[in-house]
Amino acid sequence: MRTWHPIAVLVLFVLAAHPLLVAQSSKDRSELEQLKSLVMSQQKALEDMQSQIQALRSAMEEQTKKLASGAEGGADPQRNTPSQAQTVQEPAASEPPETPSEQEQKAVREELQRGPEIADITPDTPALNLGPAKVRLIGYPAMTTVWRSANSGGNVGTDFSGIPFDNTVAGTTSEFRVSPQSTRLALRVDTNLKSSYAAGYFEMDFGGAPLAGNVAVTGSSYTFRIRQAWFDWGKGKWEVAGGQMFSLMTPNKASILPWPGDVATTQVIDMNFVPGLVWGRYPQVRAVYHESKNASFGLSVENPEQQVGDNVVFPSALASTLSSQYNTGTNQLLVPNMTPDFVFKGSFDGELHRDRKAHLDMAAVVRVFRSWNGGSVYGKDHAFGWGVGANSSVDVKKGFRFVLDGFANAGAGRYIGGLAPDVVVTANGNILPVHSYSWVSGFEIAPNPATGLYLYYSGLYAQKNSILNSNAACCVGFGYPGANTAADRLIEEVTAGYSRVLWKFENIGSVQWGAQYAYQWLEPWVAGTGPSSAKQNMIFAQLRYNLP
C-alpha cells in the first residue's frame, strides 16, 4: 500500500482549491463595491436631510422672534408651567415680572367684563370627567374691606335705604370692617347628549345672617347659604331651566341665559350691587326659544312675594291681619301669596360696526295680589301689578361699553331690591299698587387686558300713595303727611371702581384686586324738622383668588 507524504497531500489540496478561492475573492470584491456605493448614497441623503432640518430650524427661530416682538408687553407664549408661574410671583431683583400670554390675557378681559359673578355659558376651567359629564369646582375666597362715613351697617352688602341722617349719632359716626363674607363656591356639571345638552349649577356663599350676636367677636361665623341651584336642558332652539337662579327680569349681557356670568349685574364689589338695579334670585321654571343667534324669547314662572317693607302703614282696623298677609321685612315664609309671578322677555343682539356689539333686552312682569278686605273671613280683595324694563349695552369702541337700563312699574317694587313697596291698602280693603321707577347708566372700560374700570349712576323714585285711615282721618299708606323718614322718595348713587388681575395662569387660577368708591344719598317724602336728605361715602377694597 502506497503511503502519501503529508506535505504532498497539502500541496495537492491547495492546487485543487485555488480556482475556487480565486472565484470567491472576485465575488467578494464585487459585493464590497456595491455595499460601498450604497453607503455613499445613504450618506449623501442624510447630508441633504440635515441641511433641510437646519433650514427649517432657522425659519422657526426667525418666526419665534417675530411673534415675541409682536406680543403685548413682551409676552412669552410658551410660559404656562407652575414653576414659571412661581417665577412671576417672586421675580429676581434684576428682572421685571413677566405678563400673561395672549390667550391668558383674553380670558382675563372676559373675566373682568363679568365682574364678581362667576360661570358663564362657555366653561374655560379644568374639568373632572365622570362618564359623559364634566364636573368643575369654581369660585373664589375673597377678603373685603369696607369703610362708610355713616353707620348704616350691612357689612359688605349695603342697606341702601338705611342711611342715617346727620342729626343722629349714627349719621355722624363712621364704620370700618374686614370681612370674608364675599367668598363664593360653586359646582357645575355639563354634558352633551346625543341630540341635546344638559347642565347643573349649585352656588353657595356666606351672605346669610350671622349665626350669633358675637359673630365679630370670636369666630366670624357667617352662614353658608344657597345662592343658586338649578338645572338646564336644551335641544335645538329650545332651552328649559328650573331651580333658583337670577330672575328673568334681571338684565342680560347677551341672549337669554341662566348662567350668572351672563347677567348684567354691574361689576361693583358691593354684594347688593347698586340701588336701582332690577334683580332677584328666585325659584322658577323658564322656557327660552332661541330663534336665531341674534334673537331669543323667554317665559318664566317665578316664586312670588307681596311685600311692603317697613315703611307702609295699614288702616288701623285692618293692620293686625294685613301685617301677616304682606312681607313687612320679618315675615319670612308666612305670606299667603296667591299665584306665581309671570315674566316675559325678548333679547336682541347685533353689531353696529365691525366688532362693536350691541344688545337690547325688554322684559315685563305680571303679578297678582290678594288680601283681606275687612268683611267676613272669606272677604278678599284682588289687584294686578305689572312692571316693564329695558336693558341696553353698546360697545362704543373696543374695550369701552356703555350701559343703560330703565324700569317702570305699578306693584313691582320687589324687583328693585325691595327698595320700594308693592302696594298700599285702603280702609275698605282695596289694594292700590305703588308706582316706582328705576335706572342704571354707566360705562365699563377695559383699557388693557388685565385692567377693568367702571362708572355708574343709578337710582330709583317711589311715588307716594296717601289714603284715609279707618276713622276717615288723614292719613296712612306710603309717603303720607306725617310719615316717618323711612318712606324714601328718591335713592341715588354714583360709584366708580377699578379691578386689576395681578397674575393668572392656566390650571392655577388668578389673583385679582379691586377697589370701589360710592357716594349715596336719599330723600324721604317727609323730613319733618330734620335734614331733607341723608348722605354717605363708601370705600370698598377686595383681594380674591379665583379658582382655576
DSSP secondary structure letters along 96-161? PPP---HHHHHHHHHHHHTTT----SS--S--EEETTEEEEEEEE-EEEEEEESS----TTS--TT
- And the C-alpha cell for 383? 289687584
Interval 381-424: pLDDT, tens: 999 999 999 999 999 988 899 999 999 999 999 999 999 999 99
Spatial separation of the C-alpha atoms in residues 371 and 144, rounded to whole Å? 42
Cis, peptide link before residue 475, omega less than 30° from 0: yes
257 touches 251 (CB < 8 A): no
520 touches 535 (CB < 8 A): yes
- And the C-alpha cell for 265? 349685574
Contacts of 326 (CB under 8 A, 6+ apart): 306, 307, 308, 312, 335, 371, 422, 423
Contacts of 384 (CB under 8 A, 6+ apart): 366, 367, 368, 369, 411, 433
Distances (CA, A) of 373 to 120, 465, 474: 47, 18, 20
Q: Which residues pair with 445 in a beta bridge?
A: 400, 453
**pLDDT in the model for residue 55:** 72
φ and ψ at residue 100, rounded to 5 degrees: -60, 160
512 touches 500 (CB < 8 A): yes
By C-alpha distance, which of 391, 383, 392, 447 is closest to 412? Answer: 383
By C-alpha distance, which of 386, 391, 384, 458 is closest to 419? Answer: 458
- And the C-alpha cell for 425? 291698602
Question: What is the rounded radius of gyration, in angstroms, for the C-alpha atoms of the chain?
Answer: 37
Q: What angle do CA 246, 251, 255 make, to 5 degrees?
A: 95
**pLDDT in the model for residue 63:** 63
Q: What angle do CA 393, 364, 418 make, to 5 degrees?
A: 85
* Region for residue 418 given its phi and psi (left: phi exceeds 0; alpha: psi -120 to 50; beta: otherwise): left
**pLDDT in the model for residue 162:** 94
**pLDDT in the model for residue 398:** 85
101 touches 75 (CB < 8 A): yes
286 touches 298 (CB < 8 A): yes
Q: Which residues pair with 448 in a beta bridge?
A: 451
DSSP 94: T
Coil, strand or helix at 18: helix
Spatial separation of the C-alpha atoms in residues 197 and 231, rounded to whole Å? 11
Q: Which residues pair with 500 in a beta bridge?
A: 451, 513
- And the C-alpha cell for 279? 334683580
**pLDDT in the model for residue 79:** 34
From first to last of its 548 residues, the chain has per-residue pLDDT tens of 444 444 443 444 434 444 444 444 455 566 666 656 665 766 676 667 667 777 767 766 666 665 555 444 443 333 333 333 333 333 444 444 434 444 545 554 555 555 789 888 888 788 999 989 999 999 999 999 999 999 998 899 999 999 999 999 999 999 999 999 999 999 999 999 889 999 999 999 998 777 667 777 887 778 889 999 999 999 999 999 999 999 999 999 999 999 999 999 999 999 999 999 999 999 999 999 999 999 999 999 999 999 999 999 999 999 999 999 999 988 889 999 999 999 999 999 999 877 789 999 999 999 999 999 999 999 999 999 999 999 999 999 888 999 999 999 999 999 999 999 999 999 999 999 999 999 999 999 998 888 999 999 999 999 999 999 999 999 999 999 999 899 999 999 999 999 999 988 888 889 999 999 999 999 999 998 889 999 999 999 999 999 98
Nearest 10 degrees: Cα torsion 265, 271, 273, 277: 70
Interval 359-373: pLDDT, tens: 999 999 999 999 999
534 touches 163 (CB < 8 A): yes
**pLDDT in the model for residue 212:** 66
Can you list the domains of the chain with their CATH numbers?
A: 102-546 (2.40.160.10)
